[in-house]
Structure 1
């Protein structure tokens, strides 16, 4: 049968209207930060794309989010909501680029670059068979974030003398690659790749071994297909084979901060949209700018003098921040220390409700349960979450994603903004009794259990940082950390039963250090549903006492005991002790450390009393 003639690719006539960009689909704004951010792959029908870099996004109409504490920590000027696109307008939004480039046809079984199938415009269809094409299931990536098509040609010709070391997805044999899936098995042995040059067919079995590609002389190509016109980088890391839809292809590095006073109050929030224009200007220039922009008319009850006083407070606070000192706390530590101090003090409702993002009050009644030093009801809280970078193959360092040794860039140059979302909700802040905690963590048994986890975590960190120039960060594991973190998990599970929220809708924020021992459990929704009062009510003395008693009772026995309580190590990276899905673990979206650094024995002790628990 004579194949159909190739389709002609038309060009626009002079004066003809420009063709609008193809609209691939829709994703939620929160997913742009957490699931489908820059550098991640997204499937659209029978096609696959990679989300393009920030320098291709159109954010001209996106709302600016203002959070100066987070801009200071991330080194950018502002945050932008991911752009929303009106389907009736030919406007840009979040762009994507086709990846992987290799597709296969289930009818003729050819495996080649997408363009060589001669598909019709905007349709992934084989030009000869008119069957839907299938994007490659396998890609190649390295821990430095580089991404490329899987080198099928090299894989098929690995035993052939025609296989040069620099062969890519096609080679000099003159043949065409073929891919077929045998229905006899669902394993990789059933995915068979061949070539019409006559070389023996091979399956994909063994392609996922950590050294499989390296043993064949295949090196990382240094490609960054999500960045337009990005040159290939030199890379000495061995590439790994990954499933296109695997979670290991893209791990987001997300920074977040709570809006706390004074930045959460009315006048500074009203100044937020203008902050980029006034933050470095003298006071007289700020007065002039605010009068021209009609600040007082747009913000009833606020004056220009109020705004100037607020600017002074911010500048005084920024002047107190340490700079240029290698012993100073990290930006993330500074954020958490500021929040910990703020959460211990009342901040009642004042002024207009719509311009105050932080309301924190003491619970009614007297007294707190044994072992608890303080409880505060956070009746309103706002959090900004910004996508800072991402990693591949290895997830960010356990316990501190911001300290990842290998982070891939979101743009070719250093961006002045980052995509971010804001979430509003409520929560309860709990601080442990410092005297009781100090006495407990000085005992040798809790210290020995914590040291076991700490050694495993430090070995993991040394392995992650082995081929980098960055210093290995210290492990945060201590008896105090285990107690605070595990108690937060127990209360999340308990309050999900009593407060009306599923556990996946709650988040923890841990405040642990030499002078910190507390946590905030709060709702994490991007709409008003997070402020219904169901969690705040759990912080009242009587309810908290009942919740704590019930949580500790559940923790004292696990359906997997004695295996759970007597485990030498547990967890994906051996950084847990007595913790499993039947007792302590949460949905990973609820935990700061992806369910790491947990031990319920730290709270309730061992059944034989050999190791004392905090409670």
Structure 2
């Protein structure tokens, strides 16, 4: 409901297809509240809710609506709107053949998030449009498959009006629907009572089950002090009132809470929580790379760097981060600070919106389709409890290395390609966001990828069960690698064990040795551009790419040459020439 089948996504259930309805139509009376005040303020809501589950016989929980509405009969090949099949009540079958109907394989969508049925009539009649006063030929559409090939050429559309049979070949071309003079009608079938809105975006043909039909826009945050302490838990229902009060009125308000049976409250502790609340720059744009989101990352970075020890009886403590007690000299020599072992963490991931056709990327402007017609004070979210290892690089050494002409040239090439991609996807190229690509950022990102790949081989974790969280700007140079699943894999202790200095040094050496050679070399290491939008250099599926769920940047802005150098210039690599290399 957050990452795969959220609001606006298409879901297949047996022989039927549905679209998940907006959050304003959900029955949330029994939904569990998920608290993460820092992320809630960032996204402008009061709290988060776990998507409600329901039994097979109940009528509450998350609702869906039938979509697409055009179906075909596998027996008589009739292709028409589902309401015209005269199906028996409660059944989705052809009234004449008693065969289960097949939902349309094809839909059309636009980058604004709108989605509609594929215009079969216009496609079939595009070269022979004999229209009467109503604009249609009054014939009946048919769809069949010749079975000669597995391509769209074998999917044939015809009409009883006598036009020649045509195939679906070419329907997925970018200009296919534009050439038919088909425009987006601004339909939002996932929202109840939503009227069509004006849209100037050209529609595109998509497969109903295509990943391009729904891309979630997810924002996340770690629960860090003081968010995770008991005082914040008890004050959670009263935060809105506390924020609106003058500081001199807070002691009186707390005294009233105590008289009502809410327990004792420390005025100093409450004021400290409010100070932390105000330091998070509320009201700034809640985007990755935006001021508010960067402030949230800086708070996390400070707590990861300084650590938080486990309290006595702190079984419910949601953030425990301690430095390793063993000798870390080997890591220090190669530019890593003493690793921090995050023995316990909690991450909240909230579904903010979604997009279609264009995948949301770091700093890329995409249209965010809303989850509801009316503004609500909550968003659907999930929480992940796990563990991880926080690594920090020597900033002075990074600055010295990044001044290399060869390093700057490689990163600038990636940055130029990424800037071009951002301008192409922005509604106004003059206001396109800047690329985050810097030597520091690309180095941290690629290091995280090679370590996740190595831990998936050495530690027993699948790569999809691990996730990166980058902290990179002029004042930060760290990466958190942690368990990203909500099952028992997040509490086995295996990731923390990988962070012990002696073991980490061996793992890092093995990962760098593996990065020296890719099975796609020399093409990979000599690549001038790779990846979507040419935003990578020496990076491919045989060396550093990860499952999409593990990467914050959609497998972009990667270059293993910044780790180990190139055959022509080994000094390009940050870890070249170190004692362990």
Normalised-by-shorter TM-score class:
over 0.9
1:216-615 to structure 2, matched below 5 A, reads 216-272=180-236, 275=239, 280=244, 282-283=249-250, 284-289=252-257, 291-292=259-260, 294-296=261-263, 304-306=264-266, 308-322=267-281, 330-368=291-329, 369=331, 370-396=334-360, 398-400=361-363, 404-465=365-426, 467-468=427-428, 471-609=431-569, 612-615=572-575
TM-score (norm 1): 0.88
Residue 468 to residue 414, structure 1, CA distance change in 2 (3 Å): farther
Contact (CA 8 Å) 1:52, 1:96: kept in 2 or not?
yes
Q: Give 1:124's aligned residue.
A: 92
Q: Secondary structure at the match of 2:90?
A: coil
Give the length in aligned residue pairs: 566
Q: Find 1:75's aligned residue among 44, 53, 64.
A: 44
Deviates more, 1:328-337 or 1:103-112: 328-337
Give a deviation string over 1:346-404, Cα, whole Å, max 9, x none.
211114434310000010112241111231000000000000001000101x224xx53
Contact (CA 8 Å) 2:564, 2:570: kept in 1 or not?
no
How far the C-alpha of 1:318 sits from its partner, in A, is: 2.5
Q: Does 1:65 find its partner at 2:34?
A: yes
Q: Give 2:83's aligned residue.
A: 115
Q: Does 1:105 find its partner at 2:73?
A: yes
How far the C-alpha of 1:121 sits from its partner, in A, is: 2.5
Contact (CA 8 Å) 2:42, 2:283: kept in 1 or not?
no
Q: Secondary structure at the match of 1:374?
A: coil
TM-score (norm 2): 0.93
Residue 410 to residue 163, structure 1, CA distance change in 2 (3 Å): farther
Q: Structure 2, unaligned stretches of length 5 or more? A: 576-581
Q: Secondary structure at the match of 2:191?
A: coil
Give a deviation string over 1:50-71, Cα, whole Å, max 9, x none.
0000100011111111111101
Residue 135 to residue 412, structure 1, CA distance change in 2 (3 Å): same
Distance in 2 separating the partners of 1:531 and 1:110: 54
Contact (CA 8 Å) 1:269, 1:355: kept in 2 or not?
no
1:16-165 to structure 2, matched below 5 A, reads 32-87=1-56, 90-162=58-130
Contact (CA 8 Å) 1:268, 1:310: kept in 2 or not?
no
Give a deviation string over 1:133-184, Cα, whole Å, max 9, x none.
00000001000001000000111111234359xx9xx952111111111111
Q: Give 1:27's aligned residue.
A: none
Q: Secondary structure at the match of 1:430?
A: strand
Q: Secondary structure at the match of 1:340?
A: helix
Q: Secondary structure at the match of 1:405?
A: coil
1:150-229 to structure 2, matched below 5 A, reads 150-162=118-130, 171-229=135-193
How far the C-alpha of 1:309 sits from its partner, in A, is: 3.8
How far the C-alpha of 1:611 sits from its partner, in A, is: 5.0
Distance in 2 separating the partners of 1:371 and 1:221: 56
Contact (CA 8 Å) 2:282, 2:292: kept in 1 or not?
no
Give a deviation string over 1:171-228, Cα, whole Å, max 9, x none.
5211111111111111101111111111221110000000010011110111000001
Deviates more, 1:510-519 or 1:602-611: 602-611
Distance in 1 separating the partners of 2:164 and 2:259: 78
Q: Structure 1, unaligned stretches of length 5 or more? A: 1-31, 297-303
Deviates more, 1:96-105 or 1:524-533: 524-533
Contact (CA 8 Å) 1:156, 1:194: kept in 2 or not?
yes
Contact (CA 8 Å) 1:364, 1:541: kept in 2 or not?
no
Distance in 1 separating the partners of 2:280 and 2:17: 45
How far the C-alpha of 1:36 sits from its partner, in A, is: 0.4
Q: Secondary structure at the match of 2:507?
A: helix
Contact (CA 8 Å) 1:265, 1:355: kept in 2 or not?
no
Q: Secondary structure at the match of 2:354?
A: strand
How far the C-alpha of 1:123 sits from its partner, in A, is: 2.0
Contact (CA 8 Å) 2:108, 2:203: kept in 1 or not?
yes
Q: Give 2:579's aligned residue.
A: none
Distance in 1 separating the partners of 2:453 and 2:281: 39
How far the C-alpha of 1:500 sits from its partner, in A, is: 2.4
Q: Give 1:18's aligned residue.
A: none
How far the C-alpha of 1:84 sits from its partner, in A, is: 1.8
Give a deviation string over 1:450-493, Cα, whole Å, max 9, x none.
1111111111111101x359931110011111111111111111
Distance in 2 separating the partners of 1:452 and 1:407: 29
Deviates more, 1:456-465 or 1:601-610: 601-610
Q: Secondary structure at the match of 2:19?
A: strand
Residue 325 to residue 538, structure 1, CA distance change in 2 (3 Å): closer
Give a deviation string over 1:277-328, Cα, whole Å, max 9, x none.
6554553334434553x444xxxxxxx224x4433212112333446789x9
